[in-house]
Amino acid sequence: MVTGLVAIAAFSAVPAQAQTITMVMSPPAVETNRYWNTPGDFALGPAMQGLVGHDPVSGSYDNSGLAESWTHNDNFTEWTFKLKPAAMFHFGWGAVTAADVIHSLALHTGPDTTLNGISQLEGAVAVALNDHTVKFTLPAPQVDFLFVHGGRGSLVIYSKAQFDADGLEGYDAMPAGSANLQYVERNVGQGLTFEKVTDHWSGEDAQFDRLELNFVSEPATTLAKLLAKEVDIVILPRELQGDALNAGFEAIPSTNASNQTTMLFNGAFLLPGYEGLDETLPWLDIRIREAINRSIDREAMIDVLYDGRAEILPVFGMDPRHEGYVPELADRFEAEYGYDLEKVAALLADAGYPDSFSNPVIPILSSTLAGNPEFPAMAELMQVFLDEAGFQTEIVEMDWASLGGLRTAREAKMFHPMRNLPVKPSAVGIRNYYSAAGAPRNNYEDEVIEGLMTKYMASIDPAERDELAGGIFTRVFEQYAVAPLASISAEVIVNPETVGAWVFPGATSVGVSHFGSIVPAQ
């Protein structure tokens, strides 16, 4: 018996080897532990949580975040969240309570916030009904309120107790989160390290000890690190993934499409009475827009840009998981948008291109945007297609920030790439890309869409919303308002010797999430 006990003791006393998973990604736009000072492109994802989580397989909202349940009133202006009583902050900062949520909301909507999607939280007032219940009162109905808590991750919950004790410097040094991985350190310019929380309150401990994120901006360097087996997981641009796969590494895609790409006809502000309209833009003519769409061989494009691993996208912003999905548009796509150079020639002749146009040149923007390294290749490819179809084109190079300035001023009169990442709820997407309401995203606008939009924003009836959104998407489709390109899943490339599985839904701005559920290889 004693021998048995000793044997058991000896066995359990054998220390497990500290297992570290290293992952390479491109450097985030802003490196700080104050999440509200970033554009939201990379939450301290491994360590911090929002109220709402995503099911790793279906991507739909679930209670894997800090809220165990939620309700809303009939007109979607009041949302009440019940927090999980067992939820605890790291480093002993105590239980997660309503006070922490209110504190975090204040931080995230404060004067120096730079978060994407913060408009959804503006004007929201949060009140603690008790220690574990928070009620948000919104100035206008928001059917998609959960989006800002989940995938977009705009509201990340920080510890009020930590702030009261150590202020912002406390967050800078060692921010307490609540997920099953906790913050260890940040090496500015190099990366972040997290470690597993033992006996996590959720009952699901991470299956590895440490997670190291390395920031590398050069894809060639990233690939080199993977091939040299210095790292376990990488995010690589599509064109290099082939090399990695050929060398025996494996791709793990997100379980759902996480990104949509398109080219926008920026400047097509066709609302009557809009005075800033530049009437010389060739794509104001619907025949030109149709012709441009039909000049794009989308299958070749998917091969070139996405190594064949992407789907054709009928309407930018439309997704089966959200409101307004119209399956018929996918059926009609080949007939109305299919690659057909003869039709293009006919359309151009009909429109009188180039002679009837005072400015026939189509400026195509080439720019790099973090997380979308294929944009310059996209621009070149578009030029190839358009030139062959008979258009006059020029490539304009500009960094994304400068483009942002032009767009805000409604002066970005170019054919330029855009992404929808993560795929947003329809209302958010439409407001961003097709409507004059909300902050200007600058693309096609017209009065039909605007009319539908007004009703859509006011409606709280799901069936009606679905119909209105569908109407908007149909209009977009029929007016050739954009040149949609592809629907893509987020992919990571892993070393199968060290990483067994990772299931993530592709619902965040950086594509990956659910770090705590990375399964090391056995």
Partner 1 sequence: MGFFVMSQKLKFMGHLPVLPIVVLMIVLIVPALFADLIAPHDPYKAYLRNRLEPPLFFGGTTEFILGTDRLGRDILSRIMHGARYALVISLVGIVLGAIVGTALGLIAGYMRGRIEALIMRIVDITFALPSILLALALASISGPSFQLVIFVVIFVIWGFFARQVRAETLILRERDFVARARVAGASDFRILHKYILPNLVNTIVVLATLQIGVVIVLEATLSFLGIGIPRPVPAWGLLVADGRQLIVSSWWISFFPGMAILLTVLSVNMLGDSLRDWLDPKLKQV
Partner 2 sequence: MLQFILRRLSQMLISLLVITFIVFSLSHLTGSPINSLLPDDATPQQIASLTEHLGLDRPYYVQYLTFLQNAAVGDFGESTKWKGSTAAEVVLERLPATLKLGGLAVLISVVTAIPMGVMSAVWRGSIFDRMAGVIALLGQSLPAFWLGIVLMWIFAVTLGWFPTSGYGGLSYMILPAVAMAWFQVAALTRLTRSAMLEVLDSEFVKLARIKGVNERSVIWKHAFRNAAIVPVTYFGVLAGSLLTGSVVVETVFAWPGTGLLAIDAIRGRDFPVVQTVVLFFAVFYLLANFLVDVLYAVIDPRIRFS
Q: For residues 483 and 379, what is the distance between their CA atoms, to the nearest angstrom?
A: 13
Q: What is the dihedral of CA 307, 311, 313, 319, to 10 degrees?
A: -130
The smaller minimum CB distance to partner 2, of residues 314 and 429, is found at 429
Exposure class string for 334-346: b at 16+ Cβ within 10 A, else e: eeebebbeeebee
Determine if 219 is a binding residue for partner 1 (CB under 8 A): yes
Determine if 441 is a binding residue for partner 2 (CB under 8 A): yes
Select from partner 1, partner 2, none the partner in contact with residue 300, using the beta carbon and a kind-dependent cut-off of 5 to 8 Å: partner 1
Find the binder of partner 1 among 66, 138, 213, 304 (CB under 8 A).
Answer: 304
CB 446 within 8 A of CB 289: no
Give the closest residue to 454 by CA, choosing from 480, 427, 473, 476.
427
Instruction: Please state the closest distance from residue 411 (CB atom) to partner 1, in A.
Output: 14
CB 140 within 8 A of CB 113: no
Instruction: Please state the closest distance from residue 341 (CB atom) to partner 1, in A.
Output: 14
The smaller minimum CB distance to partner 1, of residues 86 and 247, is found at 247
Q: For residues 240 and 220, what is the distance between their CA atoms, to the nearest angstrom?
A: 8
Select from partner 1, partner 2, none the partner in contact with residue 243, using the beta carbon and a kind-dependent cut-off of 5 to 8 Å: partner 1
The smaller minimum CB distance to partner 2, of residues 214 and 479, is found at 214
Which tokens belong to 146? 């959960």
Q: For residues 192 and 184, what is the distance between their CA atoms, to the nearest angstrom?
A: 8
User: Which range binds partner 2 by CB under 8 A, 126-134, 164-172, 278-286, 378-386?
Assistant: 164-172
Q: What is the CB neighbour count within 10 angstroms for residue 82?
A: 18
- Contact string 453-492 vs partner 2 (x = CB under 8 A): ----------------------------------------
User: Which range binds partner 2 by CB under 8 A, 80-88, 114-122, 257-265, 268-276?
Assistant: 114-122
Half-sphere exposure at residue 361, Cβ-oriented, CA atoms within 13 angstroms: 7
List of residues 6+ apart from 418 with CB closer than 8 A:
261, 262, 263, 264, 316, 433, 443
Q: For residues 223 and 484, what is the distance between their CA atoms, to the nearest angstrom?
A: 30
Determine if 508 is a binding residue for partner 2 (CB under 8 A): no
List of residues 6+ apart from 234 with CB closer than 8 A:
23, 24, 25, 222, 223, 225, 226, 244, 492, 493, 494
Find the binder of partner 1 among 250, 328, 331, 397 (CB under 8 A).
Answer: 397
Q: For residues 89 and 237, what is the distance between their CA atoms, to the nearest angstrom?
A: 36
Task: Check residue 369 and report its DSSP letter.
Answer: B
CB 109 within 8 A of CB 98: no
Instruction: Please state the closest distance from residue 345 (CB atom) to partner 1, in A.
Output: 19
The smaller minimum CB distance to partner 1, of residues 244 and 507, is found at 244
Amino acid (one-letter) located at 208: F
β-strands 210-215, 191-196 pairing: antiparallel
User: Which range binds partner 1 by CB under 8 A, 54-62, 235-243, 438-446, 476-484?
Assistant: 235-243
Contacting partner 2 within 345-404 (CB under 8 A): 399-402, 404
Q: For residues 398 and 364, what is the distance between their CA atoms, to the nearest angstrom?
A: 10
Determine if 271 is a binding residue for partner 2 (CB under 8 A): no
Half-sphere exposure at residue 51, Cβ-oriented, CA atoms within 13 angstroms: 28
Determine if 307 is a binding residue for partner 1 (CB under 8 A): no
Instruction: Please state the closest distance from residue 72 (CB atom) to partner 1, in A.
Output: 45
* 3-class DSSP assignment, residue 475: helix
Determine if 303 is a binding residue for partner 1 (CB under 8 A): yes
- Contact string 353-392 vs partner 1 (x = CB under 8 A): -------------x-x-------xx-xxx-xx--x-----
Find the binder of partner 2 among 16, 228, 335, 463 (CB under 8 A).
Answer: 228
Instruction: Please state the closest distance from residue 400 (CB atom) to partner 1, in A.
Output: 11
Q: What is the tally of helices (H) and strands (E) in the chain?
A: 14, 19
**What stretch of H or E contains 106?**
helix 98-108
Number of residues this chain uses to bind partner 2 (CB under 8 A): 51
The smaller minimum CB distance to partner 2, of residues 76 and 400, is found at 400
Determine if 157 is a binding residue for partner 1 (CB under 8 A): no
User: Which range binds partner 1 by CB under 8 A, 189-197, 232-240, 249-257, 462-470?
Assistant: 232-240
Instruction: Please state the closest distance from residue 235 (CB atom) to partner 1, in A.
Output: 14
Which tokens belong to 242? 């082939």
- Contact string 397-416 vs partner 2 (x = CB under 8 A): --xxxx-xx-xx--------
Residues that bind partner 2 (CB under 8 A): 27, 29-34, 37, 39-40, 111-119, 122, 168-169, 172, 187-190, 214-218, 220-221, 224-225, 227-228, 230, 399-402, 404-405, 407-408, 432, 438-439, 441
Residues that bind partner 1 (CB under 8 A): 219-220, 223, 227, 237, 239-240, 242-243, 246, 297, 300, 303-304, 366, 368, 376-377, 379-381, 383-384, 387, 395-399, 401-402
